[in-house]
Each structure stands twice: as C-alpha cells, then as structure tokens.
C-alpha cells in the first residue's frame, strides 16, 4: 500500500498544497526537508487527522489552536465559511482509495473559538472506473491501515527516544499485541463468552437450585469485571507515575550542579539495577515454587521408593531375582534327557543344542527385562529426589544474594534522596519533593496492584467453581443437559482459542526479538559493545552488554533512538501490513558518524516499503544524502512564508 498523494487545503500552515511521494519500487524513499517550524510535524498530523481524526504529534502549546489556516480564517467575513480538508489517495499500484476528511468553519465573530465546526470523513473506493462512497469506512480503514498499529508506521523519530525510557515493558507488550492482530481472536472470545451467558440464562426457571447458582455466577462475573477494571486502572496509574518520575529524573540530570548530576546519574543506574534485581527475585521465587510443585510428589514417595530399591537389591543378592523358573525348568529337561515334545536330548546333537540355546536366552526373559526397567526407574526417581536440595539451594542462594544487594542499593537510593532534598535551590527541592511523593505513590500502587491481582485470581477461582456447580446441576436432567452441552462447546472453544492466542503472541515476540537484535546490532556504531537484544516472556526488553549486564538504562539518546527504529522496523515487517512509513526527524538524536551508518543501513530493512522522511537540514546532510541517494525517488523542500502564514512545497535544491 502506497500513498499516491496528500492534498491539504487550509490545514494549519498549508493553504493549498499537493504532495506526491515517490511510488517507485526501487527508489522508495521520499525526503521532505524543512527547517524547524516549517510544518514537517504538521504533515504527520494531517495524515493521522485525515485517517483517524487524531493529531498525536501536535506539540502541547498548539493543541488549543484551530486547525484552520489562521490567515485564511482572518480573511473571512462574519457568517462566511471555510473548509479545512485533507485528502489522501492510497493504493497498491494505482490509487484505489481516497480518504477525505473535511471540517467546515463558520465564522461567528472575530475570535476563532466562536467558530462553528462540522466534521465529516468519507472514503471513496475505485469500483472499476467509478469512484464510489464506501458504506463501512471504519471497517475498511481497519483492514487497510488500522489505527492501533499506525503508531509503528507514522512516527516521530525524536520521540522514539522516549519509547524505551520508562516502563517499556507495557509499551512492548501493547505493541506486540497490536501487531499480532489478535483482535480477531479477542472479538470471537468476547462474543463466545456473551453467547455462553445467554445460553445459561435461557435455562433459567428449569431448576431452582440451578437458578440460585446462576445468580451467584452472574454476580461473581460482575465482581470479577470490576476487579479487572480496577487492576487495569492501577496499572495505568503506575505507568503514568513512572513516566512522571522519569521526567523529573531527566530534569535533575540536566541540572547545572555537577554533583547533583552525578548523584542523579547514580540514582538512575541504581533504580535500573533495583528493578532488575526485583524482577530476578520474583523469577527465582517462581522457579522455587515450580520446583516444589515438580518435586513434591516424588519427595513424598521417597521412603516408599527407597524401600522398593532395597528390597529389589536384596533379592538380586540372594538370587531370587531375576526369576529362575524358566532356567530351572530347562535344566531339569536337560538333566532328564527328554524334551517336553518327547525328543531325546540326552546325547549331544541339534535337539540338545536347541534347548541349551533356549536356556541361555532365558536369562534375558521378558520378566527380567521388566524387573531391570523397574529397577532403573526406581533408581531414576531416587536420583531425581537428590536433585531437589541442589536446585533449591541454588535458587535460595540467589534469592539471598539478591536481597542483600537490593538492601544495599535501596539504602544508597535513600541516602541520595536525602542528600538531594537538602539542596538550597528551590527548583531542585521542589523536584526532589515531587519525586519523593511520586516514589511513595509508586510503592503504594505496586502494593495495591499486588492485592488487586490476588483479588482477580480469587474471583476467577470462585467463578470457575460456580461454573462447575452450575454444570453439575444442569446435568441432572436431559433437558438441562442439552443446554449444558452448548455451554461446554463454547467453553472448550474459548479455552482453545485463548491458548492459540497466547502461542501466537509468543511466537511473534520471538520473531520480533530476533529481528530487533539483527537490526540494532548492525545499526549501532559501537560494534562489539552490545551482544544481544532480548524480549523475555514478561515483555521486558534488554540490551545485553558484552559484560553480560543489561545496558538498556545506560544507552544514550541516539542509541535508544536506534533501538526504537530497529524495533519499529521489526514490528512493521512482522505485522504483515504493507504500510507506507512516514518518519518525522528520523536522525534527530543521532550524531554525525552514526547518522551516516543509519542512512546507509536503514533503507536495507525497509526495502519495498514506501518511506517518507521529514528531515531538518542538520539531519539531511550532504553525507546522508549521498548515502541514501540510490534509494531516493523524490526530494522536496518546505518553505514557510511568515507574512502569509503558509508553507509551500518546492523541489529540493541542495
């Protein structure tokens, strides 16, 4: 899918502009260069506004302004109107869709805020030779350019740096879920659950006992939903609190006082370490729990296993095992000199040799094999019980070691907070006291999240047990059993789909992990400093330093931007969507030499994808231009005319 044209009319500083990016397969890059304030970011906003009605790239000080071009609005007479319009033409090899969003302003006074605004969006599609209005524009857009994954195709390079700054785990998880498009399964799961409830309700009035349980079941489901909403709310609050703390940390880090910066840097490293240690400790606790579950039954059976082994060995020593019955019987035949069939075997010859061979073979009889196997199995079980103390010890040692380090680092963090809070500067003191407040808020939230999780788990168990009771009740009569069969089929489908969803997300996580690693390690200029990029099962992303530690918290802004670019490229590739990619300030945070490296390598990962890069002159240097030139299909330049409050799009000239 490519953008064939973007037409802007009275949209912010664009009075009347049409941009046609390159649609060439090989020269798939379009560069739009412009100084700060020329309207690069507003081009991104025009795209997302037209498609989804949102302007996520708007700076906070511009949010209050009208979308309408102010010069054009000022020229209007009272009661005159003005259209703000953005049209995007999209398609694979030729325009197939036109997305058209229009906002109509009627001037009611000198102040723009009194204007009356009406908005509409239509999507036209090419039906052979005619353009027709699509009946389901939202569904169509969800199929061709869904909003929930659009952030991985239209993004601001400078803000990417923030992606891996704070609480990236939630962001990575959300990105993976969005890109996995498991919404299809989610829709089906939600509807199956609703259907299951309806079927249960249809059995109301058939048995008083079942009705009582059903009432409890519905109440429990409502409570479970409430607990889950509460948990989600707490998780959102936690993410926001962490974001605020990170913002304060950044301000303190940039403080002019050298010692404050040093302490702030130390605190950031310590906080990162503490988080890592806390995660490791909870993983170790989980390992210990699963070891207990795994070894529990074997340990319980250990005395019986030991007794069995002793008995078998004793019988081997006394010759009771392996059984000699068959051997004894054949010996008796040889001694008697007469086979069971009556053949004379007293003298040497083939018949006697046959029996002797049988005698030899009998020592490997089936019974003996079974005994050997049994003895071996008993030995293995015995050995496995021996593994437990070693495993438990190892995990225990790690937990103790982590707790000690955690305490030491925690004490130092408190110490730093105390030192920083004693500084005279009003601003630093204010930031520090805000930080302390947010930190304690975060701790409280973590505690509440723990409790809320417990509550959700408890409710889930209660719900499952009530479902079981209801099922047993319905099974008591044939009529009810038919209802239960339908509920059972729904339940089985829900369980199976849920499992498939988990597997798919997990598989996609692994693919994205491998691709992010591949791209990041080739983009980064410090070859050999970082050796791995991991996204674990809890969606924690880590960049492994050659020393073995997670270096994510210590990456520079440029390195973080490269990591985010790699992650985005991986998401784009895995999603299966062939979107056009638009990146604002892609090289903004990256310094000279690495910039050249990215300019050369990035096009390789975006082969066949239409890419539009909005760059400043500092980004689009001669060197970058030279490296990208084989892939550039079009170069444009933005020029802002302040007197007319408008931006013009011109052909680029170096």
Partner 1 sequence: MSKPVEINKMIIQRIRDSEVDDDVRDFMIEVLQFEISNPKELSPRYKDEYLKMLQKHIRPEKSSQKP
Alpha-carbon distance of 42 to 57, in angstroms, equals: 8
Q: Does 48 bind partner 1 (CB under 8 A)?
A: no
Question: To the nearest whole angstrom, how small is the minimum distance from the Cβ of residue 28 to partner 1?
Answer: 16
Q: Which is nearer to partner 1, 177 or 234 (CB)?
A: 177
- 500, 510, 546, 626: which one binds partner 1 (CB under 8 A): 500
Q: Which stretch binds partner 1 (CB under 8 A): 184-192, 226-234, 396-404, 627-635?
A: 184-192
Phi, psi for 117 (deg, rounded to 5): -120, 130
Segment 450-479, which members bind partner 1 (CB under 8 A)? Answer: 475-478
- Using the CB atoms, write b or e for 184-195: b if 16+ within 10 Å: ebeeebeebeeb
Segment 188-207, which members bind partner 1 (CB under 8 A)? Answer: 188, 191-192, 194-195, 198
Segment 401-420, which members bind partner 1 (CB under 8 A)? Answer: none
Q: Does 497 bind partner 1 (CB under 8 A)?
A: yes
- 201, 578, 592, 644: which one binds partner 1 (CB under 8 A): 578
Q: Mask of contacts with partner 1, 71-110, x by CB under 8 A?
A: ---------------------x------------------
- 136, 316, 329, 364: which one binds partner 1 (CB under 8 A): 136
Q: List the alpha helices (DSSP H) in 301-365.
A: 302-318, 325-336, 350-362
- 11, 155, 164, 579: which one binds partner 1 (CB under 8 A): 579
Q: Which is nearer to partner 1, 40 or 501 (CB)?
A: 501
Question: To the nearest whole angstrom, how small is the minimum distance from the Cβ of residue 199 to partner 1?
Answer: 8
The half-sphere exposure of 628 on its side-chain side, counting CA atoms within 13 A, is 28
Segment 141-170, which members bind partner 1 (CB under 8 A)? Answer: 142-145
Segment 502-521, which members bind partner 1 (CB under 8 A)? Answer: 503-504
Alpha-carbon distance of 503 to 569, in angstroms, equals: 22
Q: Which is nearer to partner 1, 242 or 508 (CB)?
A: 508
Q: Does 482 bind partner 1 (CB under 8 A)?
A: yes
Q: Does 488 bind partner 1 (CB under 8 A)?
A: yes
Q: Which is nearer to partner 1, 452 or 487 (CB)?
A: 487
- 62, 336, 485, 629: which one binds partner 1 (CB under 8 A): 485
Label each residue of 167-218 as H, E or C. CHHHHHHHHHHHHHCCHHHHHHHHHHHHHHHHHHHHCCCCCHHHHHHHHHHH
Cβ–Cβ < 8 Å for 605, 519: yes
Question: To the nearest whole angstrom, how small is the minimum distance from the Cβ of residue 49 to partner 1?
Answer: 20
Residues paired with residue 99 on neighbouring β-strands, in sequence order = 88, 123
Question: To the nearest whole angstrom, how small is the minimum distance from the Cβ of residue 44 to partner 1?
Answer: 19
Q: Which is nearer to partner 1, 107 or 501 (CB)?
A: 501
Among candidates 27, 44, 38, which has minimal Cα distance to 157? 44
Residues contacting 579, CB < 8 A, separation 6+ = 1, 145, 149, 150, 153, 572, 609
Question: To the nearest whole angstrom, how small is the minimum distance from the Cβ of residue 606 to partner 1?
Answer: 16
Question: To the nearest whole angstrom, how small is the minimum distance from the Cβ of residue 218 to partner 1?
Answer: 18
- If you compute the radius of gyration of the chain from its CA atoms, what whole number of angstroms results? 36
Q: Which is nearer to partner 1, 213 or 624 (CB)?
A: 213
Size of the site for partner 1 (CB under 8 A): 46
Residues contacting 126, CB < 8 A, separation 6+ = 91, 95, 96, 97
Q: Mask of contacts with partner 1, 556-575, x by CB under 8 A?
A: -------------------x
Q: Give the pairing of strands 632-641 and 14-19.
A: unpaired
Q: Which stretch binds partner 1 (CB under 8 A): 44-52, 183-191, 402-410, 626-634?
A: 183-191
Q: Does 125 bind partner 1 (CB under 8 A)?
A: no
Question: To the nearest whole angstrom, how small is the minimum distance from the Cβ of residue 192 to partner 1?
Answer: 7
The half-sphere exposure of 36 on its side-chain side, counting CA atoms within 13 A, is 5
- 184, 212, 361, 397: which one binds partner 1 (CB under 8 A): 184
Q: Which is nearer to partner 1, 18 or 143 (CB)?
A: 143
Among candidates 49, 37, 60, 51, which has minimal Cα distance to 10? 49
Tokens of 234: 């707490």
Q: Does 187 bind partner 1 (CB under 8 A)?
A: yes
Alpha-carbon distance of 208 to 200, in angstroms, equals: 14
* DSSP per-residue letters across 55-111: -TT--GGGTTS-SB-HHHHHTPPTT-EEEEEEEEEEESSS--EEEEEEEEEE--SSS
Cβ–Cβ < 8 Å for 137, 51: no
Q: Which stretch binds partner 1 (CB under 8 A): 158-166, 182-190, 562-570, 638-646?
A: 182-190
CA dist 410 to 30, 267, 269, 404, 535, Å? 50, 10, 12, 10, 26
Cβ–Cβ < 8 Å for 562, 594: yes
Question: To the nearest whole angstrom, how small is the minimum distance from the Cβ of residue 183 to partner 1?
Answer: 9
Q: Which stretch binds partner 1 (CB under 8 A): 362-370, 412-420, 491-499, 613-621?
A: 491-499
What is the helix (H) or strand (E) element at residue 543, kind and residue range? strand 541-545
- 349, 454, 576, 630: which one binds partner 1 (CB under 8 A): 576
- 5, 104, 181, 621: which one binds partner 1 (CB under 8 A): 181
Tokens of 109: 């006074």
Phi, psi for 13 (deg, rounded to 5): -85, 5
| Binding interface with partner 1 (CB under 8 A) | 1, 92, 136, 138-140, 142-145, 180-182, 184-185, 187-188, 191-192, 194-195, 198, 475-478, 481-482, 485-486, 488-490, 492-493, 496-497, 499-500, 503-504, 575-579
């Amino acid at each position: 899918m490519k953008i064939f044209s973007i037409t802007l009319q009275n949209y912010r500083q664009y009075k009347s502009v049409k941009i046609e990016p390159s649609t060439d397969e090989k020269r798939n890059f379009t560069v739009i260069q412009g100084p700060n304030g020329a309207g690069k970011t507003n081009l991104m906003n025009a795209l997302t506004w037209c498609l989804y009605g949102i302007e996520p790239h708007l700076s906070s000080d511009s949010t209050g302004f009208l979308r309408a071009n102010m010069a054009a609005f000022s020229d209007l007479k009272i009661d005159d109107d003005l259209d703000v319009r953005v049209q995007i033409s999209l398609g694979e090899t030729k325009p197939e869709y036109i997305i058209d969003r229009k906002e109509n302003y009627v001037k009611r006074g000198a102040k723009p805020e009194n204007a009356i605004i009406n908005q509409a969006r239509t999507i036209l599609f090419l039906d052979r030779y005619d353009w027709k209005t699509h009946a389901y524009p939202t569904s169509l857009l969800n199929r061709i350019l869904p909003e929930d994954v659009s952030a991985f195709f239209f993004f601001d390079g400078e803000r990417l740096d923030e992606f891996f700054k704070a609480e990236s785990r939630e962001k990575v998880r959300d990105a993976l879920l969005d890109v996995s498009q498991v919404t299809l399964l989610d829709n089906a799961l939600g509807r199956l659950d609703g259907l299951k409830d309806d079927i249960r309700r249809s059995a109301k009035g058939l048995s008083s006992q079942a009705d009582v349980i059903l009432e409890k079941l519905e109440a429990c489901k409502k409570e479970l939903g409430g607990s889950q909403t509460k948990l989600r709310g707490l998780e959102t609050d936690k993410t926001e609190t962490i974001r605020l703390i990170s913002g304060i940390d950044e301000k303190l880090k940039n403080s002019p006082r050298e010692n404050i910066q040093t302490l702030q840097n130390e605190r950031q490293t310590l906080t990162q370490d503490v988080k890592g240690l806390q995660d490791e400790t909870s993983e170790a606790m989980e390992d210990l729990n699963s070891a207990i579950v795994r070894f529990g039954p074997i340990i319980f059976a250990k005395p019986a296993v030991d007794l069995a082994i002793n008995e078998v060995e004793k019988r081997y020593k006394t010759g009771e095992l392996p059984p000699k019955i068959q051997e004894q019987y054949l010996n008796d035949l040889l001694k008697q000199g007469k086979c069971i069939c009556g053949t004379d075997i007293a003298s040497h010859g083939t018949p006697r040799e046959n029996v002797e061979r049988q005698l030899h073979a009998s020592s490997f009889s089936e019974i003996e094999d079974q005994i050997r196997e049994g003895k071996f199995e008993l030995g293995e079980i015995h050995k496995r019980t021996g593994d437990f103390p070693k495993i438990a010890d190892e995990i225990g040692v790690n937990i103790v070691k982590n707790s000690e380090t955690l305490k030491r680092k925690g004490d130092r963090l408190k110490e730093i907070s105390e030192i920083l809070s004693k500084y005279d500067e009003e601003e630093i003191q204010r930031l520090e006291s805000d930080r302390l407040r947010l930190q304690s808020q975060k701790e409280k939230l973590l505690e509440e999240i723990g409790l809320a999780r417990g509550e959700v788990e408890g409710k889930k168990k209660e719900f499952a047990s009530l479902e079981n009771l209801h099922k047993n009740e319905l099974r008591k009569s044939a009529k009810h059993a038919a209802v239960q069969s339908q509920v059972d089929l729904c339940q089985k489908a829900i369980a199976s789909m849920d499992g498939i969803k988990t597997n798919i997300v997990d598989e996609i996580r692994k693919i994205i992990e491998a691709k992010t690693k591949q791209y990041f390690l080739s983009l980064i200029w410090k070859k050999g400093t970082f050796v791995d990029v991991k996204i674990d099962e809890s969606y924690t992303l880590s960049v492994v330093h050659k020393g073995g530690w997670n270096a994510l918290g210590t990456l520079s802004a440029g390195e973080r931007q490269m990591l985010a670019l790699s992650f985005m490229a991986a998401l784009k590739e895995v999603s299966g969507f062939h979107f056009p990619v638009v990146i604002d300030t892609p090289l903004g945070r990256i310094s000279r030499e690495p910039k050249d490296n990215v300019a050369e390598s990035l096009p390789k990962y975006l082969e066949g994808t239409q890419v539009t890069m909005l760059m400043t002159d500092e980004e689009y240097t001669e060197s970058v231009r030279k490296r990208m030139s084989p892939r550039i299909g079009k170069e444009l330049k933005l020029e802002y005319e302040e007197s007319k409050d408008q931006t013009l799009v011109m052909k680029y000239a170096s």
